[in-house]
Amino acid sequence: MPVTLPQLSRRDFLKRAALAGAAAALSPSSHAALFGKARDVHTVAFFSDAHIAADTAATHLNCNMAAQLTAAVNELAARPLPPGNIVVNGDLAFEKGLPEDYATFGKIIAPLRALAPLHLTLGNHDSREKFWAAFPHDTLQQKAVPLRNVGMFGADHANWFLLDSLLLTASAPGELGAEQLKWLEHELNFHFHRPAIVVVHHNPQFGAVTTGLRDTTALMELLARKAHVKAVVFGHTHDWRVTQHESGIQLVNLPPTAYPFHIKRPCGWVRCTLAKDGAEFELRCLDVNHPQHGEKQVLKWRKD
Ligand SMILES: [Zn+2]
């Protein structure tokens, strides 16, 4: 099932922006500036935990989610070199994945559509059916796990596998399920010639699973066995940090882009730049005075 919104031409972009009423948010000169840039094929820009409500005035801990996501989108759009791909890693919607939430979310992310292919995964505050209904004509059809929002894309130095850990809307824990794990194993076996990086909304949670990924053990056992799997990228905890699994797999926890759990923890986005044998993950805080703004985690992949 679909997960990827293709990059738009200038003509298609303007047609859609006008239809969606999003054109007013962008000046004509900023429209023009979005197009015709070469992309940096080695980078992926990550957004996570946007929690966009229908009402653009909604706030949490004095943070306005719509304004925060808009700021991150604008920062990425203003860069001279757009990324090769963009991922928004779940909890796109505020709380329950309402159609109106996705309408607002769609308007805010509109400029990203001009920059690069945009991949959307789902979290526990999304609704799969309402998400699919909100983006019906945009999505690339893919044969994958029925009723799950999964996919993959390739880049020079890695293949990226996008999973769907949404179990129950507005309930914290997540689950992949046996069928999705089987699909993942099949895809990993087929695409063994490059490093593999897995992207999933829920955090692998070791020991008793309370709010994280229920089938962490099954997932990590599978990934540990496949030597070409180098990293897992996830959100959900709203807490930027990088750790390492005992297998050597890197565990990259994205910060929330728009909805902080703790006011002092960073909100923003992450730029991943791939190399042959590793990757650099750079934190881009929305508050440029945050002490962690610009922090770089330089990761070396485990051996094949
Ligand atoms: Zn969240």
Give the tens place of pLDDT for each residue, 178-222. 999 999 999 999 999 999 999 999 999 999 999 999 999 999 999
Ligand 1 center–CA 234 separation, angstroms? 11
Ligand 1 center–CA 193 separation, angstroms? 33
pTM: 0.94
**What are the E-state strand segments in 245-292?**
250-253, 268-274, 278-285
Ligand 1 center–CA 166 separation, angstroms? 12
Amino acid type, 294: G
Q: Which of 99, 83, 84, 96 has its CA nearest to residue 134?
A: 99
Ligand 1 center–CA 126 separation, angstroms? 10
CATH superfamily of 4-21+37-300: Metallo-dependent phosphatases (3.60.21.10)
| Structure confidence at residue 149 (pLDDT) | 87
Which residues of the chain are under the pLDDT cut of 50?
1-2, 23-24
Ligand 1 center–CA 291 separation, angstroms? 23
pLDDT digits (tens, 9 = 90+) for 128-156: 999 988 987 666 655 567 778 888 999 89
Ligand 1 center–CA 206 separation, angstroms? 19
Q: Which residues of 83-118 are buried (b: 16+ CB within 10 A; e: fewer)?
A: bbbbbbbbbbbbeebbeebbebbbbbbbbbbbbbbb
**What are the E-state strand segments in 100-178?**
118-121, 151-155, 158-162
Q: Which helix H or strand E contains 237, and what residues bound it?
A: none
Ligand 1 center–CA 211 separation, angstroms? 11
Q: Quote the crossing angle between the two packed helices 99-108 and 65-78, to the nearest 10°.
A: 30
